[in-house]
């Protein structure tokens, strides 16, 4: 059984991953040239190629770390509230685990895409 304090730390940690992600986006990536404007795709891809390690770390924090923390939170909430409403917790846990899987799959796709952009020779092997 996961203690309530652990679930609380997981929830706070998940929120912190998003805050770190937004801070890196606003303070590092956008000033470095990561642009969302239409027609700026070439500059964004150039930034991805030049800073592949930073982009991988950024995506890993935002998606992988968050997914692990959300997984801990889902299990803790299920254990705490399942005796009160088992049907509701089954549905809520299914949505939570689906979100967790989505984060992990999306991150794996993004990491693979970054490898393709940053080092096409590595992507083919």
Q: What is the pLDDT of residue 123?
A: 47
Low-confidence ranges of the chain (pLDDT < 50): 122-123, 125
Closest CA to 78 of 69, 65, 88: 88
Q: Do residues 82 and 41 touch, judged by C-beta distance below 8 A? A: no
pTM of the model: 0.71
């Amino acid at each position: 059984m996961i203690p309530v304090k652990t679930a609380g730390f997981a929830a706070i940690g998940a929120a912190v991953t998003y805050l770190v992600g937004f801070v890196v986006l606003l303070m590092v990536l956008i000033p470095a040239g990561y642009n969302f404007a239409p027609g700026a795709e070439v500059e964004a891809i150039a930034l991805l190629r030049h800073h592949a390690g930073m982009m991988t770390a950024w995506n890993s924090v935002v998606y992988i770390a968050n997914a692990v923390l959300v997984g801990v939170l889902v299990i803790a909430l299920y254990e705490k509230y399942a005796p009160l409403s088992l049907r509701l917790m089954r549905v809520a846990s299914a949505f939570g685990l689906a979100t967790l899987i989505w984060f992990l799959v999306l991150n794996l796709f993004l990491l693979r895409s970054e490898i393709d952009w940053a080092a096409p020779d590595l992507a083919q092997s």
